[in-house]
Amino acid sequence: MSSPKIVLVAITKHGANQVAQLANKLPDADVLVSEKFRELLQTCKKPAQFYSGPFREQIANLFNNYDQLVFFVSLGAVVRLVAPYLKSKDEDPGIIVVDDAAQFVIPVLSGHVGGANACAEMLAGLLDATPVLTTASDVGKTIPVDILGRELGWQVEAPKINITRVSAHVVNEEPIAFIQEAGSKNWWTRSTPLPKNIHLFDRFTDVDLGQFKAVLWVTNQGISDSLWQQLNESLVVYRVPE
């Protein structure tokens, strides 16, 4: 998986100073700063980009060219600026806000699928700041149903309604059957123990379906239409690279 394209954006003097410091710790990131603060970016190892005129005119280009947009701008202003360009969590870039003092790093949109949560934690480490995560699975230190195993190449297979319903069961700590018939066992990457409501099985036939609210199934075998219908909206399948 290729590294995300990150841009660091500032429109104030304090923000520009913070961007200048962070850019040297994150040399692959691009930088976009107001033209009037050009002199503050002289210490950057990588040449910065500068804009003049209304900042809102820069947003479309940022959406088209970057995976993670990191704004040293107030949260409210960012929400208003990006709102006209939002499509869906499957298409939008990660939107991250850092306060002018670089005390807090807030993933605003596309936290899971768009990678903003992971990027925010990485930035917080570089800034010695606090990441402010509000996604339920991150706060609860449990399974992120929509992106589980993505770093291992797993592909989720399920209707969106299933992912939504199963995610709710997971974060509400209801009993979940996790069946793994394929792929690496190193899919649990959090530092905390696997939550007690997640029950592990080696085979689908070992599971008493009546005891569980949902099933997460890592397999490369075919699944019949009748089984999808039987499990209704409680099944999410992950396919593993051959």
Same domain, 114 and 161: no
Single-letter amino acid, residue 184: S
Using 50, 70 and 90 to split pLDDT, how confident is the model at 63? Answer: very high
Is the pLDDT score of 2 beyond 70? no
Query: What is the mean pLDDT of the segment spanning 75-93?
Result: 92
Residue 203 lies in a domain: yes
Edge-to-edge strand order for the sheet containing 155-157?
A: 155-157, 235-239, 214-218, 176-180, 198-201
The larger pLDDT score, comparing residue 138 to residue 49, is at: 49
Residue 172 lies in a domain: yes
Distance, in Å, from the CA atom of 116 to the CA atom of 175, rounded to the nearest integer, reads 28
Same domain, 117 and 174: no
Distance, in Å, from the CA atom of 44 to the CA atom of 34, rounded to the nearest integer, reads 15
pLDDT score, position 117: 87
Is the pLDDT score of 44 beyond 70? yes
Same domain, 79 and 128: yes
Given 104, 134, 164, the domain boundary residue is 134
Same domain, 19 and 104: yes
Residue 143 lies in a domain: no
Residue 85 lies in a domain: yes
Q: What is the DSSP string of 137-196?
A: HHHTT---TTTTTGGGT-EEES-HHHHHHHHHHHHTT--EEEEESSS-STT--SSSPPPT
Is the pLDDT score of 111 beyond 80? no
Q: Using a pLDDT cut of 90, give the percent of the chain over it.
A: 75
Using 50, 70 and 90 to split pLDDT, how confident is the model at 136? Answer: low
Same domain, 154 and 91: no
CATH of the domain at 212: 3.40.1390
- Structural domains counted in the chain: 2
- The two beta strands, 155-157 and 235-239, are antiparallel
Query: What is the mean pLDDT of the segment spanning 100-113?
Result: 87
SS3 state of residue 21? helix
Same domain, 155 and 41: no
Domain range for 65 is 6-134
What does the pLDDT look like over 16-31, one tens digit per residue? 999 999 999 998 999 9
Same domain, 199 and 233: yes
CATH of the domain at 127: 3.40.50.11220
Average pLDDT value for the chain: 91
Is the pLDDT score of 6 beyond 60? yes
Residue 139 lies in a domain: no
